Amino acid sequence: MKNWKLPLLWVLAVAFTACAEATPSQKDPDPLQCTDGVQVGADGECSIPTIGPGMVNMPEGPNDEAPVLDNSDLEEDRQHFLTQEGPGKLRVYVGESIPVGVRAITYVGEPAPGFAVQFKIEGATFGDSLSADRAISNEFGVAQVILTAGTRPTHYYIHMTGEQSASLQYTVDVVQRPEGGDLMPPPGAPPGGGIRGECLETQGTYNIHNHYEPGRALGDGVFGVLDQIHQLLASPGGFVADLISQRIGGFAGDLLGGVIEPVVNYLVDYIVGNYAPDWVQWMLIITEDVSGLLTEMEIEGTMELGPRDPANCTLRGRHRWETLVFIWRAGCQPNDAMCGRFPIPLNQLGVGLSESEFDAAVVRSLGPVGYLEIRNHQMQLNLGVAVIWFIQNVILPQRLEVNSFGELLGLVIPCDAVGDLAADYVSGVPFLGFAVAPLVEEACEAGLEAAGNFLMRMLADSFNVSAFDMAGECKLRDTNGDRSADKIEEGRWTSGLQGDFSGERR
């Protein structure tokens, strides 16, 4: 009986066991132990028994025809395009500076870093300018510049063009800031401004801590997709085999069309049965990791409250998100509240800081406490891009030392073994005009990439919400008796991204 070399799958078991308490790099690997009847070879690897020659249907036609691999699907997946976030309409005050940008993503839905984007203003301007005419996308796919409005109101366009991608256009309205429209008091003014009327004075900037439950806003769709992804990862044989065999054309494709699936299924069953018996449970843990991101998430930011109208206690405010914090507590001690917090600055994740002005009112005041109602306003957050980045850069590397779903599947479908087993399976076919093993190995590597892309695209498409209509309520508390709000307590966002918030005056 021949033996084909199997990659070091013991690393998989060690890594996943270690991640329950620490990242794999923090654990020393256990000594390699192979399954019964299989020994550690001189090269330090376990070996796997061959599947043996199988029944092969010999196709008609010449068997010396050059094999063809069709990877056009991967070529399309790797292409980039530009996408806007929000309505593509910008409103900026005279003399104000704001970030302007776009996101470069692949057709899989993954951010595309290192992508050059050209920016150009077209239309009547009065000193309006961009900080640069070219920007490179960051790790989240964001390419942005700073727009500074000129000295007079006007209307114009900003065109953004990426190499080999369609251009995008934003419309810009430069407007005069309304008289008395400043939310913030002049420098040096005392907080609150004293007693004016019966409701608490509100004017000031408050640091806000938001604790959100994004799953409520996203609905059941994304969790259903995660369940499908778990099923395909847990039992990948037929799914991956189809993506391998369908890209082999010509005589080779006809010959190997019925070979790939039994080979892949044999390999998966053997590896899972002998080296990774908890594979199904491990895949469940990974998808539960993602689900956990969607049930507990924090955003740090600010809330600017303008002066309240003493006649009716109404006011204007500005809500700003600044830092997204994912919570992933794998390996954390129960009493370590700061462990497992992963902050992502939103000026890197998003095209710009997500902020929105809103109307509000102090609806009643009881002693040192005022009750504030915050009315509907829209906030932008591309949560899908953030989750995909976190999966590829945190969860998968720390769990199993891989960076994609395709690499994850490669742990139980090593392509060199697929090629060797396929060659052995058709070894009874005489006078083949091509080398089976390297052909199938190359097709397998492409098939695994396609499988990973398919799963990631499923997940990206399930995040169909990036604009959230926010409204909420909270208590304002005066802590020093000057009738001015110092703290925000018991805040609750009742629509959009639902959750709790609190804060205090800067």
Residue 132 has pLDDT above 90, yes or no: yes
How confident is the model at residue 120, as a pLDDT? Answer: 96
pLDDT exceeds 60 at position 86: yes
Residue 353 pLDDT greater than 90, yes or no: no
Res 12 pLDDT > 80: no
pLDDT-derived band of residue 234, with 50, 70 and 90 as boundaries? Answer: very high
pLDDT band of residue 203 (cuts 50, 70, 90) is very high
Q: What are phi and psi of 451, to 5 degrees?
A: -65, -45
Asked whether residue 171 carries a pLDDT value surpassing 50, the answer given is: yes
Task: Reply yes or no on whether the pLDDT at 181 is more than 60.
Answer: no
Of the candidate ranges 32-41, 317-326, 328-337, the one whose mean pLDDT is the lowest: 32-41
Q: Find the mean pLDDT for residues 297-305.
A: 95
**How far, in Å, CA of 239 to CA of 134, rounded?**
42
Each residue's pLDDT tens digit, 92-117: 999 999 989 899 999 988 899 999 99
Domains along the chain?
3-71+231-280+389-462 (no CATH), 84-180 (2.60.40.10)
Of 207, 176, 393, residue with least CA distance to 300: 207
Please report, rounded to a whole number, the percentage of residues in the chain having pLDDT higher than 90: 54
Q: In the chain, what percentage of residues exceed pLDDT 70? A: 82
**pLDDT confidence bin for 1, thresholds 50/70/90:** very low
Alpha carbon distance 66, 433 (integer Å): 8
Q: Mean pLDDT throughout 222-227? A: 94
Mean local confidence (pLDDT), 422-430: 82
The predicted pLDDT at position 413 comes to 93
Spatial contact of 87 and 466, defined as CB atoms under 8 Å apart: no
pTM of the model: 0.81
Do residues 363 and 313 touch, judged by C-beta distance below 8 A?
Answer: yes
Write down the pLDDT at residue 406: 96
Position 415 pLDDT exceeds 90:
yes
Asked if 69 and 247 count as a contact pair (C-beta separation under 8 A), the reply is yes
Residues 6 or more apart in contact with residue 102 via CB below 8 angstroms? 82, 83, 84, 85, 117, 142, 143, 144, 160, 162, 168, 351
The confidence score (pLDDT) of residue 360 equals 96
The answer, yes or no, to whether residue 477 has pLDDT greater than 50, is yes
Q: How far is CA 51 from CA 5, 266, 269, in A?
A: 13, 7, 12
Question: Dihedral of the CA atoms 367, 309, 152, 125 (nearest 10)?
Answer: 60
Report whether pLDDT(461) > 70: yes
Task: Label residue 431 by pLDDT band (50, 70, 90).
Answer: low
Phi, psi at 47, each rounded to 5°: -115, 165
The pLDDT confidence band at residue 256, using thresholds 50, 70 and 90, is confident
